[in-house]
Every structure is written in C-alpha cells, then in structure tokens.
Amino acid sequence: MKIGFIGLGIMGAPMALHLANAGHQLFVHTRSQVPEAIQAAGGVRCDNAAGVAREAEVVFTMVPDTPDVEAVLFGENGVAAGLKDSAGAVRKVVVDMSSISPMATKAFATKINALGADYIDAPVSGGEVGAKAGSLTIMCGGDEAVFERVKPLLELMGKNITLVGGNGDGQTTKVANQIIVALNIAAVSEALVFASKAGADPAKVRQALMGGFAASRILEVHGERMIKRTFNPGFRIKLHQKDLNLALQGAKEIGVSLPQTANAAQLMQACAAHGMGDLDHSALVKSLELLAGHTVSPD
C-alpha cells in the first residue's frame, strides 16, 4: 500500500520504519530531518501534510498534542487540503496515533468524514521500547469495517490491538491508561522513598516486592529506573502532564472527581517546575524526594 506518516519523533520514527520494512511505499512529513533508516527503506519526504495525503491511501499521524493534530489535519497545507485534492477509487483513511482530547477527536473525525475519508483514533502505549519492538498496545476508536482494513498495518506496530468503540473511544481508553500508569508511578515512588529513608536497601525491597501482590510492570521497569537513576526519556514528564490534564479536563466536563489523578498531576508539575519536564516520567520520584529531603539512591 501507499502509506503516509506524519511525525517522526521518538515514537513515530520506529513505527513508520516497521511499515516501510514490511514493503509498503512510505510518504513522510516531519518538522525535523527524516531519519536515515527511513530514507534507506525508501521513504519519500513530502513538503507538507497535504502532499502526504495526496499520495497515500492511509495517512498516519503521530504528533504531541491536540493543537498539533489540528494543525496537521486542518492547517495550511494540512491533510484536509490533500484529501480535497485527491481523486481515486480508494476511500482514504486517516489514523491518528497521537494521544489527544477525546472530544476534539470526535470533531476531527466528523470533519474528515465530510471530506469523503474515514478516521480512526489509535493512540498507543508502550513507549519508545514498544515502538522499536513493534509491541505497542493500540487502542482504537472508529467504524469496525475501517478498523479491519487498517488492522494489518497496526499489527506491524503493535501486539495488543483493540477496537474499543466509535471515534473518540480509543482516546478515552488512552486517557484511562495514563491515569493508571501515573498513579502506579506515584505509588512505587512513595514506597521506594519510604523504604530507602527508613534505612532499607531499595534494590532489595524492589526485588522482594516483585514476588508479591505489589508486583507490576511499573515496579519492574520504572522502579529500577528510580534506583539506578536512569531518567533518560522513554516517555517525558511533560507529555504525561498533558495526558493527565486531558483526564482532569474530561472529568470536569462529565462531572467526575479524580482526586488521585490530580495529585499525580501536581507531582509532575513540581518536577516540571524544577526543570525536569524532559526527563522520563519515572522521574516523578524526584518530586517526592524533594519533599522528603532524601533520594532513593545517590545520583
């Protein structure tokens, strides 16, 4: 197939490469330089998002936030302009794999549908490691027939791929995912700060807890990061902040209280205020270390 991919950052680049390596013809647009691996795999750079949409049957977007998606889709020389200019028997599909507002997603889908194309929201979980391994969890919203059409492409990038419901439901699922992840990171952070300041070896505490009911992927991966002080980003604090803000904004709209989510958001805000927004979200532990006047282990 002729595939378009817009956004070749930490996540987007390896995801696009999986599509190219599978033999699909790839048309790309990104604000930065196209990675050499994608060029070597035959990726063709387009001057703008409209150019990608003109060439491709399926257009993937992977950009940071709701305004970025809106600009890519409906800004000057955006995807919408390319869809208007396109002619052919194949109905095109836009697949947004960014993590953005569910409400905005529904509006975006309606506008894309009005241009004669289909829309799937397909945010992902798994970070840079999952993107490189092609093992992402992908949460989808949209028409079932359209989902089945693009599913073989999604399977090149992920392993756990679920159609949750209509447009916007994939993004709602991603927000729920980010709530769970943030609260787990906060819980592991509190536990390790407590154990370390009480005089226990945090590495051995983590090892013991991994064999019990407290075991989790967060304790396994991010707990190790906290102990080893490896906070190079797999998923940046400032991006997780954005997702928690989406959760709190959505909660306000539907009349739901999310007190623990609000607390986790404040801990991440504290990190950002101390210049740590570009660190991995496991660095949330640093906000609790500041409060305790103690680090889990030396930096």
Does 174 participate in catalysis according to the annotation?
Answer: yes
Backbone angles phi, psi at 93, to 5 degrees: -130, 135
The burial of 198, by beta-carbon neighbours within 10 Å (0-12 exposed, 13-18 middle, 19 or more buried), is given as: exposed
Q: Quote the CA–CA distance of 297 and 291 in Å, as a whole number.
A: 15
Q: Is the dihedral of CA 210, 130, 173, 161 positive or negative?
A: negative
Handedness of CA 290, 295, 298, 299 (dihedral sign): negative
The residue annotated as part of the active site, out of 174, 238, 242, 286, is 174
User: What's the Rg (C-alpha) of the chain?
Assistant: 20
Distances in Å between the alpha carbon of 14 and those of 98, 138, 276? Answer: 14, 15, 25
Strand 136-141 relative to strand 124-125, pairing:
antiparallel
3-state secondary structure 26-66: EEEECCCCCCHHHHHCCCEECCCHHHHHHHCCEEEECCCCH
Residue 94 contacts residue 142 (beta carbons within 8 Å): no
C-alpha span between 188 and 142 (Å, rounded): 35
Q: Which residues are catalytic?
A: 174
